C-alpha cells in the first residue's frame, strides 16, 4: 500500500532543500503539486510548480470539499492540497511527498493515520532562522520579522509530528531524513 510523507517547517528551515534531496534518491516517491490562487511567477507552469486557480475557483473547490487542507495566507491568496492530486499518485502506486504548513500537516496526518509519516524540520534557533532569511536576500526586513513571528508559532506544532529533524547540519539532516523515509516506506 502506498504511503504519504508529510513535511512541514517554518520558512527558512531547509524543508524544500531536504525534499529536493529526497526526491533525487531514486525512491518510489512522487511530489504532490499544491494548488494556489496567486499568479504564476517567472516561468512557473500550471500543473508543474502549482495548479493555478482563480480565487473564485479555489473557493468553489473548498465548498465542494476538494481539499485535504488549505489556507488563505492573504486576502484571495490561497494555498492547498487537492484530494484528487494525492489520490492520483496513490492510485498509481507511488508514495506521496507533501510540503504543507504545520496545521495542514497535522490535519492530513489525522486523516491518513499510520499510512502517513509527518516530519517537522526544525531550525536550530530563531536567530539562525533570521540569518538564513536575511542571507536569502528575497524579503524586506518587515517581512522577515513577520516570518520569524510565524516561525515561533509554527514551532509549537512540532510535538504533534511523528518525527522532528533538527536542521543544524545539512548533511546530518539529509541523512536522517533519508533513513527515516526509507524505513517508513519499506515497513509493510
**For residue 144, what pLDDT band results from cuts at 50, 70 and 90?**
confident
Q: CA-CA distance, 52 to 79, in Å (whole number)?
A: 10
What is d(CA 9, CA 155) in angstroms, rounded to the nearest whole number?
8
Mean model confidence pLDDT for the chain: 93
- pLDDT tens for 170-185 read 999 999 999 999 999 9
Distance in angstroms (rounded) separating the CA atoms of residues 12 and 136: 9
Domain boundaries, the chain: 4-186
pLDDT of residue 165: 97
pLDDT for 155: 94
Question: Residue holding cell 481539499?
Answer: 67
| CATH 3.40.50.300 at 4-186, yes or no | yes
**pTM of the predicted structure, to 2 decimals:** 0.90
Cα 15 to chain centroid, rounded: 8
Q: Within 10 A of 35 (CB to CB), how many other CB atoms are there? A: 21
Amino acid at each position: 500500500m502506498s504511503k504519504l510523507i508529510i513535511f512541514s517547517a517554518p520558512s527558512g528551515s531547509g524543508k524544500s532543500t531536504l525534499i529536493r534531496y529526497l526526491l533525487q534518491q531514486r525512491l518510489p516517491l512522487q511530489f504532490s503539486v499544491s494548488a494556489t490562487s496567486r499568479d504564476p511567477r517567472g516561468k512557473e507552469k500550471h500543473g508543474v510548480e502549482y495548479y493555478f486557480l482563480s480565487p473564485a475557483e479555489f473557493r468553489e473547490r473548498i465548498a465542494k470539499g476538494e481539499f485535504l487542507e488549505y489556507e488563505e495566507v492573504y486576502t484571495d491568496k490561497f494555498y492547498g492540497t487537492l484530494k484528487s492530486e494525492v489520490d492520483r499518485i496513490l492510485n498509481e502506486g507511488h508514495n506521496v511527498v507533501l510540503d504543507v504548513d504545520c496545521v495542514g500537516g497535522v490535519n492530513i496526518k489525522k486523516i491518513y493515520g499510520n499510512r502517513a509519516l509527518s516530519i517537522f524540520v526544525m531550525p536550530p534557533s530563531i536567530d539562525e532562522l533570521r540569518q538564513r532569511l536575511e542571507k536569502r536576500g528575497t524579503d524586506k526586513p518587515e517581512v522577515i520579522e513577520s516570518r520569524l513571528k510565524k516561525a515561533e508559532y509554527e514551532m509549537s506544532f512540532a510535538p504533534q509530528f511523528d518525527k522532528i529533524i533538527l536542521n543544524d547540519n545539512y548533511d546530518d539532516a539529509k541523512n536522517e531524513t533519508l533513513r527515516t523515509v526509507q524505513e517508513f516506506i519499506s515497513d509493510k
